[in-house]
Amino acid sequence: MSFNYRDTQIVKGMLARGDKQHDIASYFGVNGGRIAEVATGECDYPDAPPMPSGKLPPHGPYVGAKTVFEIKEVLQEAVDLLSAAGTAGDETAIAIQTLQVAIKKL
């Protein structure tokens, strides 16, 4: 995977801000080698300017795939418990629906 122009700007901005390369790689879900390519200018957009710090994502570390999987499991357990609780009122139905939307987003 190579970065598009905007992503290259973000990577450069994060590097300039002092973020660790492995945190940046985690943010994008890529191998650290992709970040090193941008850092050394061996990328598709070596002349792309860094993204201004005010437009960058917050500092890492970022949640990894394993943690996301664990969060999905916990959310599904909550759905199962609410569903098994018996008579569901409007609030319970809304809570279940909200949790299911969150699970799909992960």
pTM: 0.69
Q: How far apart are CA 21 and CA 57, in angstroms?
A: 14
Same domain? For 39 and 81 the reply is no
Please check whether residue 101 lies inside any domain of the structure. Answer: yes
pLDDT number for residue 87: 67
Q: How far apart are CA 34 and CA 42, in angstroms?
A: 9
Q: What is the pLDDT of residues 49-106, one digit of tens each?
A: 999 999 999 998 888 888 889 999 999 999 998 888 766 678 888 888 899 998 888 8
Same domain? For 9 and 42 the reply is yes
As for how many domains the chain has, the answer is 2
Same domain? For 16 and 40 the reply is yes
Higher pLDDT, 103 or 11: 11
Q: Which residue has the tokens 């999987």?
A: 69
Q: Which helix (H) or strand (E) holds 91?
A: helix 90-105
Q: How far apart are CA 32 and CA 65, in angstroms?
A: 15
Domain with 38 in it = 5-55
Same domain? For 10 and 43 the reply is yes
